[in-house]
């Protein structure tokens, strides 16, 4: 097929030719008028034979088309999780005409067409509708209305419920995310909760975003996630850490068993102390334990009850010269 205005075959095309073709056929997306999150980048891949998508589980079947352009579209946010990656596949004929469009929706994908079986286009451009907050693609607003109740809940009371999404392909690079990262992400998404209008007049042209081959986008995703989290942490307000006094907060001091003077060999926990620590950690707070006795006492008691491992750090006042 002609991959650009020049009579080039796909195998002869340069990276510049491919970039021109990708931009030429980049779709337009209609978003809900109240949608807070728009795409910020896309990664593209071209297929001139059947295969499996390099960025999803989708099987590429040309079915008579000469070429498929895969648009892996990146958002920093979905209303329920950081981050979002959705897909559009545009299939072209030998003459370079759009013959079919597929789009992703909640981990699945399928062909998208109008009520009369036509490719969804407006003014010569593939134009799709994006589900409010969740960004699943459809050929019409009517197709999205069938999920009105669920979508409204996701965009409202369930906003932020998924915290940070870590796909298998990025698990190693993002393995060190902390509970506090999930906390600030959840809090931000909750602040963006909205009630969808189901009016889709917020028009977004994918030609306006940063475009790159998929492998470049893939390589940048961990750093993109970290950049978002860094900004959130720097802007976060409110309590970031909770310091718990060991005595009579977590440990029943009347139950302490001493040896050799001040050294505490063991003690009993205050009922509910473990649940308190777990509750704080689940909500992203840094938990620090504070005590003023012997360091060995501190370790004996807290390590036996697993408070030591559940806390982020331990502050021993006497070892720091404090009264």
| Nearest in space to 252 (alpha carbons), one of 295, 313, 305 | 305
pLDDT at 21: 96
Say which CATH class 241-320 falls into: alpha beta
Q: Where are the domains of the chain?
A: 10-235, 241-320
Rounded CA-CA distance 242/310 in Å is: 13
292 and 248 Cβ atoms separated by less than 8 Å = no
Taking only the tens place, the pLDDT of each residue in 136-183 is 999 999 999 999 999 999 999 999 998 998 888 898 999 989 888 998
Taking only the tens place, the pLDDT of each residue in 77-122 is 999 999 899 999 999 999 999 999 999 998 899 999 999 999 999 9
pLDDT at 89: 98
251 and 270 Cβ atoms separated by less than 8 Å = yes
| Nearest in space to 145 (alpha carbons), one of 127, 131, 158, 133 | 131
pLDDT at 236: 83
User: What angle (nearest 5°) sits at the alpha carbon of residue 141, between those of residues 191 and 101?
Assistant: 110
DSSP H/E element including 23: helix 15-24
pLDDT at 317: 44
Rounded CA-CA distance 31/264 in Å is: 63
Average pLDDT of the chain is 88
For residue 110, what are its two tokens? 């399928």
CB neighbours of residue 153 within 10 Å: 12
pLDDT at 278: 81
Residues of the chain with pLDDT under 50: 1-8, 314-323
Rounded CA-CA distance 44/52 in Å is: 14
């Amino acid at each position: 097929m002609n991959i650009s205005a020049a009579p080039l075959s796909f195998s002869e095309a340069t990276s510049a030719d491919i970039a021109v073709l990708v931009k030429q056929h980049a779709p337009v997306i209609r978003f809900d008028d109240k949608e807070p999150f728009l795409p910020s980048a896309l990664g593209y891949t071209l297929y001139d034979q059947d295969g499996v998508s390099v960025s999803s589980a989708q099987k590429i079947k040309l079915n008579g088309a000469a070429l498929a352009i895969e648009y892996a579209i990146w958002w920093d946010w979905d209303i329920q999780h950081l981050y979002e990656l959705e897909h559009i596949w545009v299939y072209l004929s030998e003459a370079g005409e759009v013959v079919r469009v597929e789009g992703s929706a909640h981990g699945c994908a399928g062909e998208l067409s109008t009520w009369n079986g036509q490719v969804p286009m407006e003014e010569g451009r593939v134009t799709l509708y994006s589900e409010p907050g969740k960004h699943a693609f459809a050929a019409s607003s009517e197709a999205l209305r069938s999920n009105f109740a669920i979508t409204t809940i996701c965009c409202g009371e369930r906003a932020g419920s998924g915290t940070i999404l870590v796909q298998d392909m990025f698990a190693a690079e993002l393995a060190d995310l902390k509970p506090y990262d999930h906390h600030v992400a959840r809090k931000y998404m909750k602040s963006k909760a909205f009630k969808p209008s189901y009016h889709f007049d917020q028009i977004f042209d994918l030609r306006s975003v940063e475009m790159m081959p998929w492998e470049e986008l893939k390589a940048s995703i961990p750093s993109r996630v970290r950049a978002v989290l860094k900004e959130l942490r720097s802007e976060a307000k409110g309590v970031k850490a909770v310091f718990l006094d060991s005595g009579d907060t977590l440990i029943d001091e009347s139950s302490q068993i001493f040896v050799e003077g001040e050294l505490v060999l063991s003690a009993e926990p205050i009922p509910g102390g473990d649940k308190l620590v777990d509750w704080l950690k689940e909500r992203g707070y840094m938990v620090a334990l504070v005590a003023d006795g012997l360091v060995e006492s501190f370790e004996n008691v807290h390590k036996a009850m697993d408070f030591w491992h559940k806390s982020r750090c331990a502050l021993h006042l006497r070892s720091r010269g404090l009264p």
